[in-house]
Amino acid sequence: MTAEPATRLDVSDSRARLDTLQALVRDELLRVNGVIVEQMESPVELIPQLASHLVAAGGKRIRPILTLISARMCGYRGDRHVNLAACVEFIHTATLLHDDVVDASDLRRGRQTANALWGNKAPVLVGDFLFSRAFQLMVRDGSLDVLRILSSAAAVIAEGEVLQLLTANDSATSEADYFRMIEGKTAKLFEAAAEVGAVVAGRTPADVQALADYGRSIGVAFQLIDDALDYSAEEEALGKTVGDDFADGKVTLPVVLAMAEAGCEERAFWHRVIEDGVQGEDDLATAIGYLTRHGAIRATIRRAEAYGERARRSLDRFGPSPERAAMLDLVDFCIERAY
């Protein structure tokens, strides 16, 4: 790998692309929000309070958009996809609440995290509540296929999260370990979200599989870019602190790649900051320097592009439509985004 200039992604471009995507499903997305607000309700006021803190903060809503657009591209004209998109977002939100507790994060989507505001106890329990609500909504929908897909996804996500815990501070983490982890913790829900859209539309197993592949591929691409951004983004656009992964000792692909190329001195550095977790003020800058020297950020982005290409190819079997075009745009967004 060769030296690379600092990678800068254009915020306004990726924001515009996301806006276009959201516009295509605006009405349905509003109804998804309605379902979310309605289903967060509880006589225990802290539950909607805490949940709405995270939900109101916005987020990109990529996962529910996947369900909505996938269903529409598959010719679905009913209402079920709206509720199921809300289920997907609920599972995602529950995961975020638990993640932030596990990571002891302070900032998410440009706001203080629920655990920073309420401590660790309530977010664990409210996460459980949202997770249960997602299943109640699915049961009301009544499709055992959908329930199977999303309950399996939830188990795989939890496995991926545990893997992340195990690879943290472990400089022996391999590329294979890394991909196994992100396929679980991130890509599985993207996969399930797109798959469910094809299932409600009653498409053939081959079409369902193609959309599952599409979702998984952009999920992997999305996480690769996320991990690149943690070392290269503008903090304001990102809505969270740059260098969070580094501070947590998480071994993401940029670090795996840079460690593979490291000489003696660099190896000692990575051992200290990742394995021993001993970090000083300048260490993030030093790490970014090493990543840049070995082209690790650029190589990570290239992997994301390859997964993006795989996602695009999964859509080959579907005829042209505004939804298909939007799903191709979504691939570009996942790769070019700056937040």
* Options 54-62, 139-147, 229-237, 294-302: segment touching a copy of itself (CB under 8 A): 139-147
* Angle between helix 11-24 and 26-39 (nearest 10): 80
Is residue 56 a contact residue for a copy of itself (CB under 8 A)?
Answer: no
Contact pick of 52, 136, 174, 204 for a copy of itself (by CB under 8 A): 136
Closest approach, Cβ 70 to a copy of itself, in A, equals 21
Q: Does 190 bind a copy of itself (CB under 8 A)?
A: no
* Cβ-based nearer residue to a copy of itself, 25 or 101: 101
Long-range contacts of 176-185 (CB under 8 A, 24+ apart): 178/251, 178/252, 178/253, 178/256, 179/220, 182/219, 182/220, 182/223, 182/224, 182/227, 183/216, 183/219, 183/220, 184/156, 184/157, 184/159, 184/160, 185/157, 185/160, 185/161, 185/223
Q: Which is nearer to a copy of itself, 130 or 194 (CB)?
A: 130
Question: Does the footprint of a copy of itself cover residue 131 (CB under 8 A)?
Answer: yes
Contact range with a copy of itself by CB under 8 A, out of 106-114, 138-146, 268-276, 320-328: 138-146
Crossing angle of helices 175-182 and 144-167, rounded to 10°: 140
Cα–Cα distance for residue pair 135/238, rounded to 1 Å: 31
Cα 193 to its chain centre, rounded Å, is 12
Of positions 126, 189, 194, 210, contacts a copy of itself by CB under 8 A: 126
Q: Does residue 147 bind a copy of itself (CB under 8 A)? A: yes
**Beta carbon of residue 131, minimum distance to a copy of itself (angstroms, whole number):** 7
State the nearest-atom distance from the C-beta of 319 to a copy of itself, in Å.
Answer: 33
Q: How far is the CB of 316 from a copy of itself (least distance, A)?
A: 31
Minimum gap (Å) between residue 195 Cβ and a copy of itself: 15
Which one, 38 or 235, has the nearer CB to a copy of itself?
38
Contact mark string toward a copy of itself, 16..55, x via CB under 8 A: --------------------------xxx-xx--------
Applying CB under 8 A, does 120 fall inside the site for a copy of itself?
Answer: yes
* φ, ψ dihedrals at 61, nearest 5°: 60, 30
Choose which of 74, 84, 154, 253 interacts with a copy of itself (CB under 8 A): 154
Asked if 172 touches a copy of itself (CB under 8 A), the answer is no
- The one among 11, 37, 57, 162 contacting a copy of itself by CB under 8 A: 162
What are the residues binding a copy of itself (CB under 8 A)?
42-44, 46-47, 94-95, 98, 101-102, 120-122, 124-129, 131-133, 135-136, 138-140, 142, 144, 147-148, 151-152, 154-155, 157-159, 161-163, 165-166
